[in-house]
Structure 1
Amino acid sequence: MRMKLFSCATVLLFSLQVQAEPATRTTIEKFLQVTEAANMMDQAYQNMDQMTAQMLASSGLDISKDPQIQQDMQEMNALVRAELSWDKMEEPLIALYGSVFSEAELQDIIEFYQSPAGQKMLKRQPELMQGTMVMMQQQMQSLMPKIKALTEKQSAARKAAQQKTDQ
């Protein structure tokens, strides 16, 4: 009886170990290629440029009329692109995906992205990202006055508390 229990436990442990095999670098690189991760990053930068311009415009700054603001924005975007370039992000992404997904899981995800539904998801992803950015920007516009009011309230409370301790 003990031998059967030991055998079952060994088989169960071995099957769990096989299922949890870490994703290989080759599989992770294939995933990043199939999902067009580098292109997605480029599109994210373009969305960031548009969002920055929209935020400046909504704050009353007309970047088309102010060459200094245009230059500042270009420098900022160049810095972000340089520091978060694909060349700098690829290795950390490979490590991250390797720590999160097993080989089997990543193979299943790759299979999905190679399917018609997965391909549609990839093609529509930029549209979803743009829509999400617009939605977040709208939410932030309505949130900013609330944040400002809360900050002012907290500041007033700190000043009142400070005045009490000074007396």
Structure 2
Amino acid sequence: MKKLLALPFLTLSLHLPSAFAEPATTDSVKQLMETTGSTQMSRQIVQQMIPMLKKLVPDAPDDFWDSFMKEINPEQINALVIPIYQKYLNEEDVQKINAFYETPTGQKLLKVQPKIARESMQAGQAWGREIAQKVLSEYEKSQRQATPPPQDNLLE
């Protein structure tokens, strides 16, 4: 009986430190985003949006787009993303992550991570093409086996 009562207290005690952890501050998350290049990605996203938006309104003159672009602020994306970081990371987490990125190993990771991501995406695409080819080949094979070849009618 004592063991049964001890289990909830043990479980609760394991979760208490994270339950009372200080939420990540906006400033520390901004620092993390800046360090990891997330802030720069926000700017790139805005730049990539423009050609797509221009396709939606192809007749709009350049002064329309100039005016519209002045209203778009990449910081708006950051403001949307910061609470997501805060949802999953507390202040201690963010401080430790920021400290890691200040180390030579963290700096190396930041430097090579875009290459890793690009090559991983290429590998995944190649793998996906192989899977698609295999699916098509297997499906065609199953269709050939399911459909008997035409028989010449010898009785005619």
For normalisation by structure 2, the TM-score amounts to 0.55
SS of 1:121's equivalent? helix
User: For residues 120 and 42 of structure 2, what CA distance do their matches in structure 1 show?
Assistant: 15
Q: Which aligned pairs between 1:36-115 and structure 2 lie closer than 5 A?
A: 36-40=37-41, 75-76=51-52, 86-115=74-103
- Relative to structure 1, the CA distance from residue 22 to residue 112 in structure 2 (aligned partners, 3 Å threshold; closer, same or farther) is same
Aligned-pair RMSD on alpha carbons? 4.0
Q: Which residue is equivalent to 1:123?
A: 111
Higher helix share: 1
Partner of residue 126, structure 2: 138
Q: Which runs of 5+ in 1 are unaligned?
A: 1-11, 50-73, 157-167
Report the Cα distance in structure 2 between the residues aligned to 1:38 and 1:21, rounded to whole angstroms: 24
Offset from partner CA, 1:18-69 (integer Å, 9 cap, x none)? 8611101111111111222133567799xxx9xxxxxxxxxxxxxxxxxxxx
Give me the identity figure in percent. Answer: 27
- Is the 8 Å Cα contact of residues 19 and 104 (structure 1) preserved in structure 2? no
Structure 2: state its 5+ residue gaps: 1-12, 56-68, 144-156
SS of residue matched to 1:23: coil
Query: Aligned to 1:21, what secondary structure does the other structure show?
Result: coil
Number of aligned residue pairs: give it.
113
Q: Quick one: higher RCO (CA 8 Å, sep 6+), 1 or 2?
A: 1
